[in-house]
């Protein structure tokens, strides 16, 4: 298989994923919530930012390495947590983690994964762990301890889903959870034999539909069954005191994901967080939310370099990475971009997505007259 896979940008990988996935799985990956204005807002806000390049700057040796939480990364980028990776590709989490490790960027394990944290961590590389809290909080505390035990250096607590989001398309296409065969999805599944055999077929040969991982054996449930009492994700009763309990339990870097207001960023700093993720969840939670890149400058000014800031939601080009850095982010997180690659071609597709973003970032830096990440400043933007 050629290294470029016939894909020369993230949009090409996106189209490959769209062709391979059944409609319901594709829409879960691609779509937002309600009227889906938020997705367009994320993209438009990034596109509206323009550069003022410098010339004659000797850019024959552009260095894209950048520290994240004090450790070097080949690019100011990490793979975001995506709980449905195992439905895009057989054991997709492992393919994402391995591609990230080989590329020299961090990978974030999702607590909603269908694989145990230990199995993903066996891949190696630089690992972070993302947490949704469960109704039985002790179940969450237990998996946090496991994540630390396998070497995850940072805990990311996702805050921007206090209640279930309104993803109406799942009702229309018949792919809601718990998942079951019905008249809406049966024909669609049959029309995608590569996915059906390569993902569901392989799981069935191994013992059945994948289960919600990182739970005690008696509480595990497959995606075809509803969660058992206590095992549901439940965060509508989470507050700053609840987050402080996690801070006390976690000995590594502590990050709050889903911050869009400067006051919340300041409160995160005050309670001892090492970092925040400026994110609107890829426009998959609140449709009317501010674009993440629009929220970034005020937050960066508020915290004044006293904590690590990551930017998430809408990153599709290397130019987006540079724009985020210029507006105050230390790094970006990418979710859909590597998932497009995973869904299109497995690990090779993930590698291609990272390589594309890396090459684009280096090229944009050279076009702007930049030789390293320290030279990226707000003065680059018109």
Distance of CA 95 to the CA centre of its chain: 14
- Beta pairing class for 275-278 and 308-312: parallel
DSSP 87-106: HHSTTHHHHHHHHHHHHT--
Outline where the chain has alpha helix (H).
10-20, 23-30, 37-47, 85-88, 92-103, 117-121, 137-149, 169-173, 186-190, 193-195, 202-205, 240-249, 262-270, 292-303, 318-326, 336-345, 347-367
* 215 phi, psi to nearest 5 deg: -130, 155
How far apart are the C-alpha atoms of 112 and 81, rounded to whole Å? 9
Active site residue 281: yes
- Name residue 331's beta-bridge partners: 310
Catalytic residue among 95, 192, 281, 358: 281
How far apart are the C-alpha atoms of 359 and 349, rounded to whole Å? 15
Terminus-to-terminus CA distance in the chain, angstroms? 42
Distances (CA, A) of 43 to 169, 170, 314, 316, 335: 21, 23, 6, 9, 14
Give the residue numbers marked as catalytic: 281
């Amino acid at each position: 298989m050629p290294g470029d896979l016939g894909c020369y940008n993230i949009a090409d990988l996106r189209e490959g994923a769209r062709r391979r996935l059944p409609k319901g799985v594709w829409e879960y990956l691609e779509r937002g919530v309600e009227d889906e204005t938020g997705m367009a807002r994320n993209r438009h806000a990034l596109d509206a930012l323009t550069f003022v390049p410098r010339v004659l700057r000797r850019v024959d040796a552009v260095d894209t390495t950048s520290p994240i939480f004090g450790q070097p990364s080949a690019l100011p980028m990490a793979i975001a947590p995506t709980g449905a990776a195992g439905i895009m590709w057989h054991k997709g989490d492992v393919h994402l983690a391995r591609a990230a490790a080989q590329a020299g960027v961090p990978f974030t394990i999702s607590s909603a994964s269908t694989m145990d944290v230990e199995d993903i961590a066996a891949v190696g590389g630089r690992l972070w762990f993302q947490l949704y809290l469960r109704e039985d909080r002790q179940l969450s505390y237990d998996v946090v301890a496991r994540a630390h035990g396998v070497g995850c250096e940072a805990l990311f607590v996702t805050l921007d889903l206090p209640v279930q989001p309104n993803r109406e398309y799942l009702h229309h296409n018949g792919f809601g959870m718990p998942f079951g065969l019905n008249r809406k999805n049966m024909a669609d599944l049959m029309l995608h034999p590569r996915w059906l055999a390569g993902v569901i077929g392989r799981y069935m040969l191994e013992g059945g539909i994948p289960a919600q991982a990182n739970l005690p054996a008696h509480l595990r449930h497959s995606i075809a069954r509803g969660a058992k009492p206590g095992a549901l994700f439940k965060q509508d009763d989470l507050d700053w005191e609840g987050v402080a309990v996690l801070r006390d339990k976690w000995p590594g870097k502590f990050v709050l994901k889903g911050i869009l207001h400067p006051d919340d960023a300041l409160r995160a700093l005050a309670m001892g967080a090492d970092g925040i993720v400026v994110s609107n969840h890829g426009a998959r939670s609140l449709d009317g939310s501010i674009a993440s890149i629009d929220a970034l400058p005020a937050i960066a000014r508020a915290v004044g370099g006293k904590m690590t800031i990551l930017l998430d939601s809408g990153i599709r080009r290397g130019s987006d990475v540079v724009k985020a850095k210029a507006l105050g982010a230390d790094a970006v997180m990418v979710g859909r971009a590597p998932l497009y690659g995973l869904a299109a071609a497995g690990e090779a597709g993930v590698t291609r997505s990272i390589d594309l973003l890396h090459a684009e970032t280096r090229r944009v830096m050279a076009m702007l007259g930049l030789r390293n990440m320290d030279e990226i400043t707000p003065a680059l933007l018109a």
